[in-house]
Amino acid sequence: MSNIHFEPEPGSRDAMPGIGVPKPALYMAGLLVLVTFALAISARFFGFGAFGEPENVPVLVSRSLTFTDQPDGGILVHDAETQQVAIALPPNSGGFIRGSLRALTRKRRLANIGPATPFVLTRYEDGRLVLDDPATKASVTISSFGPTQIAAFDTLLFAGRVAAPASAGTAAVSDSVRSLP
């Protein structure tokens, strides 16, 4: 009876040859992870690979605005200097404007800052249109989102202004926006 040889069952663990990852591949994967973290950390601290908004660009036009939610879901936009209603956004309209405001007011709520400080909408000479929140130092560069969104915020920038130079500036700004690359 000692001549009987039992082979492992096909498919059992004992029948499978040992499969392992080669050590050089593990070392290379670990090195890749370390290099990726090192580059990310150094980019964060030294600022390479990131872009920032240009500084010292002249301002074409700027306006301080406050936004008030209405019970029907609309939004009243007030000129912060004159306290006059610049524009009324009906309910379910101005989706991009609402989204931009939602992003900025979320930071205000987290910092327990009320709506008293107005937002500042600024058109720069280089064509950028930026909505800034001076209370939280946050901003949204509107001109990054395309001509439809630029037109929506240009409406806020110039709506309700009665001075003739502002309307002339609207045409000049609109022409400069169209000519942007």
Q: Could you tell me which residue, 94 or 35, shows the higher pLDDT?
A: 35
> Using one digit for the tens of pLDDT, what is the confidence trace for 34-65?
999 998 888 888 877 766 666 778 888 888 88
Q: Is the pLDDT of residue 167 over 50?
A: no
State how many domains the chain has. 2
Q: Give this prediction's pTM.
A: 0.57
Q: How would DSSP label each residue in 49-84? A: T---PPSSPPEEEEEEEEEEE-TTS-EEEEETTT--
Residues 63 and 42 placed together within one structural domain of the fold: no
Per-residue confidence band for 133, with pLDDT thresholds at 50, 70 and 90: confident
Residues 22 and 68 placed together within one structural domain of the fold: no
- Least-confidence region, from 11-20, 73-82, 155-164, 167-176: 167-176
Question: What is the model's pLDDT at position 181?
Answer: 36
Per-residue confidence band for 15, with pLDDT thresholds at 50, 70 and 90: low
Residues 112 and 152 placed together within one structural domain of the fold: yes
| Residue 111 tokens, joined | 């910092």
Residues 84 and 166 placed together within one structural domain of the fold: yes
Burial class (CB in 10 A: 0-12, 13-18, 19+), 153: buried
Q: In b/e form, how buried is each residue of 61-90, taking b as 16+ CB within 10 angstroms?
A: bebbbbbeeeeeeebebbbbeeeeebbebe
Q: Are 60 and 173 contacting, i.e. CB atoms less than 8 angstroms apart?
A: yes
Q: Is the pLDDT of residue 8 over 60?
A: yes
Residues 26 and 97 placed together within one structural domain of the fold: no
Q: What rounded mean pLDDT belongs to the chain?
A: 76
Question: What is the model's pLDDT at position 174?
Answer: 40
- Which domain covers residue 98, as residue numbers? 59-178
Judge whether 23 lies within some domain: yes
Judge whether 74 lies within some domain: yes
